[in-house]
Amino acid sequence: MSDSKTQRNGSSFVNPWSSGFSLRQSAEAILKGPLTRSTPFKVDVEPVKTVECDLEVYESEEAKEGVCATWLGHAGFLVQISGHVRIIFDPIFSERASPSTWIGPRRWLAPPCEPYELPEVHFIAISHNHYDHLDIQTLKDIHKRSPSAHFLVPLGVKALLVDELRLPDDQVTEKQWWESISFDIDNTQVNFICTPAQHNSGRGLLDQNHALWCSWVARCSTSTPNVDKEHSGLSLLSLRRMTANIYHAGDTGYTTPSGPCPAFSAIGKRYGPFDLAMVPIWRGASLSILGQMGYRLTAEATHTFLSTLHASPRDAVSLARDVRAQHTLGMHFGTFCGSEDESKEPLVELLDALEADHSRITGSESNGRKSTNLRESWKEMGGFGIIDVGQTITIKSK
């Protein structure tokens, strides 16, 4: 089932595996009380902050030899692969993730720059049409800076961009799961694969799940001439060498009532390992009002109501392992939240998840002390960590 194409129920897209808990389970979670008051965490963590973008890093030799990435906040990333191919994923620079400038989830952290300050990009990849991942004003601003950038979207999203951005039809490609498209830029071939995610879509009451949701794989390879010795050196064979392989998970859950969503191990088997994976660790802008009111969801309520749509930190660690990520950065947290408590909560849970994962791998018991440095742990092979909004990092491609 994990290798299947997208499935529909009438005019709506559906996840092809079971991705919802029963009414009985939901009712039990409600009766037990889904909310708890925010209290100080036992472990103090430093919340992420916004720092000024250092985009000069993209011109460095280190960046040109590997993967260079800047967290733009929420699920937005600017990524450079193979030294010159630049991609933006799910950017949002607006104050609110909402159809209105007056109501809706509001930023907790400011953007790290203005859209016009970004370098020109070749591609803009969108995972789905929720307002916190497809922000029309942001896309208009980036399009002004990069008028020839090609847009990649899941099935059902193209018409919105063509209409709102006044784009020519051939500047937007929409795909369903497991479909791919390749582009040639100089001596580099860039291959995008639209891969599954476990989520939903909609920008209003009447279009729920009418468009697809996805994650994206982006791979670069270069061709090098090779002399065909059997023909006395008179012909050249073109050999392709993989130079970068990255994965952006978009917005996704990981859990199903019967266990982990099978799509992620399928992605890892087909396209991993990845030099860099960008994986959501929180529900993003969803329910940020709870933080404003001084509440948290209980662990059981979070698991029952949200885990099929939004990966928890523990889920995210498992997801990164399933896709065979060599380095993983957490995203989809901290930018749109309701309080400092909510800005810390996903980091505390991520720290717990990484410590538990380390104990599982090593077979050692945790001594209760949190030794993982979240701002450094992504650098390790197989590591998972975080960076600040606006921070730029480089990873050497393997």
Domain annotation covers residue 253? yes
Closest CA to 245 of 196, 281, 191, 187: 191
For residue 279, what are its two tokens? 């994986």
Summarize the confidence of residues 140-157 as an average pLDDT.
98
Q: Are 305 and 243 in contact (CB under 8 A)?
A: no
For residue 286, what are its two tokens? 């969803």
Summarize the confidence of residues 181-199 as an average pLDDT.
95
pLDDT given for residue 236 in this prediction: 47
Domain annotation covers residue 378? no
Q: In the chain, how many domains are there?
A: 1
Mark residue 144 as left, alpha or beta (left: phi above 0; alpha: psi -120 to 50; beta: remaining): alpha
Q: How many Cα atoms are found within 13 Å in the side-chain-facing hemisphere of 221?
A: 11
Place of tokens 């989809």: 332
Domain annotation covers residue 208? yes
In this predicted structure, the answer to whether residue 240 has a pLDDT above a threshold of 90 is: no
Sequence-ordered list of residues with C-beta below 8 angstroms from that of 18, at least 6 positions apart, any chain: 256, 257, 258
Summarize the confidence of residues 109-138 as an average pLDDT.
97
Summarize the confidence of residues 379-384 as an average pLDDT.
96
- How does DSSP classify residue 216? E
pLDDT given for residue 234 in this prediction: 47
- How does DSSP classify residue 171? G
Rounded Cα distance between 14 and 265, Å, is 19
pLDDT given for residue 19 in this prediction: 59
Alpha-carbon dihedral sign for residues 336, 264, 206, 293: negative
End-to-end CA distance of the chain: 31
Mark residue 266 as left, alpha or beta (left: phi above 0; alpha: psi -120 to 50; beta: remaining): alpha
Which pTM was predicted?
0.92
In this predicted structure, the answer to whether residue 398 has a pLDDT above a threshold of 80 is: no
6-15, 259-268, 274-283: lowest mean pLDDT where? Answer: 6-15
Closest CA to 82 of 66, 58, 104, 98: 66
In this predicted structure, the answer to whether residue 112 has a pLDDT above a threshold of 50 is: yes
Domain annotation covers residue 58? yes
Rounded Cα distance between 340 and 348, Å, is 12
Q: For residue range 12-60, what is the model confidence (pLDDT) as tens digits?
A: 999 988 656 554 555 455 545 577 888 888 888 999 999 999 999 999 8
Q: What percent of the chain clears pLDDT 90, i.e. is strictly above it?
A: 68
Can you point out the beta strands (E) in the chain?
A: 7-9, 12-14, 35-37, 66-73, 76-81, 85-89, 123-125, 150-154, 172-175, 180-185, 188-195, 215-227, 236-248, 255-256, 259-260, 276-280, 295-297, 327-331, 383-385, 392-396
Domain annotation covers residue 291? yes
Look up the CATH number of the domain holding residue 209: 3.60.15.10
In this predicted structure, the answer to whether residue 369 has a pLDDT above a threshold of 70 is: no
In this predicted structure, the answer to whether residue 319 has a pLDDT above a threshold of 90 is: yes
Mean pLDDT of the chain: 89
Domain annotation covers residue 9? no
Across-strand partners of 279? 330
pLDDT given for residue 30 in this prediction: 52
In this predicted structure, the answer to whether residue 245 has a pLDDT above a threshold of 60 is: yes
Summarize the confidence of residues 301-311 as an average pLDDT.
81
16-25, 152-161, 173-182: lowest mean pLDDT where? Answer: 16-25
Domain annotation covers residue 357? yes
Helix/strand/coil percentages in the chain, nearest 5: 25, 30, 45
Summarize the confidence of residues 182-193 as an average pLDDT.
95
Q: Are 193 and 217 in contact (CB under 8 A)?
A: yes
Q: Are 11 and 21 in contact (CB under 8 A)?
A: no
Domain annotation covers residue 6? no
Q: What are phi and psi of 365, to 5 degrees?
A: -85, 140
Range of the domain at 34: 19-367+389-396
